[in-house]
Structure 1
Amino acid sequence: MNDSAIRASLAEFEARLQLKVRRPLAQWVEALETVRTRFPELERLRTRLEQRTQKVLAEEVKSEKAARKRA
């Protein structure tokens, strides 16, 4: 194998490495950082939703008890 063939192979290898490994890995890292940044906000929203759900369920129980008393 001559020097130019080795250089061509190396260039092709580096191009494939960039396309198939480095770029997807960089995209994954970027997505992970987005999740890490947004996670606290999402957790606060989940907690608020859970609290509201519990309040609604408690009000439903009260309403059912009041309806039974009236009946």
Structure 2
Amino acid sequence: MNCTPIVRQSLTIWRCSFYIPKFTVEDKLGAVNRYQLGIESINSIAKSVGTARSNLLNWVKQYETMELRRL
């Protein structure tokens, strides 16, 4: 039986839940930079980072619209 781990972790403090992100801003920027260099395919980068291709495309879009740069 192959079980996938729970990716999203939550922290509850005084009845408030906070979700801990799996990827730091540095992780996301590193993946976006690898994509922009054009040496690797988006699928290979997403697989090596451990995320879905659609997530990586969202990070690229956020970076290009300056949303990811602000963090």
Shorter-chain TM-score above 0.5: no
Choose 1 or 2 for highest CA Rg.
1
TM-score, length of structure 1 as denominator length: 0.26
**TM-score scaled to structure 2, two decimals?**
0.26
Higher relative contact order (Cα pairs below 8 Å, separated by 6+ residues): 2
More strand by share: 2
Structure with the higher fraction of residues in helix conformation? 1
